[in-house]
Amino acid sequence: MTLFNELNAQSSILRTALTGVAKRHSVISNNITNADVPGFVAGRVEFESALADATANYPRNRNVDVSGVVPTVHFQNPNFRHRIDGNNVDIETEMVNLYQNSMRFDTIVSSITANSQRMRTILQQ
């Protein structure tokens, strides 16, 4: 039953990471959408440090509690402006961020799928 508990803990961590990556995708998409809106300030999502803190003792401690890990939106340098109209969205940076975030999303989904298959195998035996 230890292996099942370990897979359950991993699934919880991966679901939390997927929530953070999904939130980041939404914020990046919003930044891109508002790239031409005067005064718009780009947002950034942070959750990795909170997730790292919550999982610091994993795998030694398999009772991981990631329920307090919530992705938060921060506004990067709200006083810094890239353009004269007050908008600080750099479209090239946002497109790179979107690509990197998509790769993270795909990796997490693949890991969740692999964990689900492992759980299915354990339950069938």
pLDDT string in tens for the chain (125-residue length) = 477 677 778 888 999 999 999 999 999 999 999 999 999 999 999 999 999 888 887 767 667 888 889 999 998 766 677 788 989 999 999 999 999 999 999 999 999 999 889 888 878 87
How far apart (Å, rounded) are the C-alpha atoms in residues 84 and 9?
A: 49
Its pTM stands at 0.85
- Measured in residues, the chain has a length of 125
Give which of 107, 111, 116 is closest to 4, Cα–Cα. Answer: 116
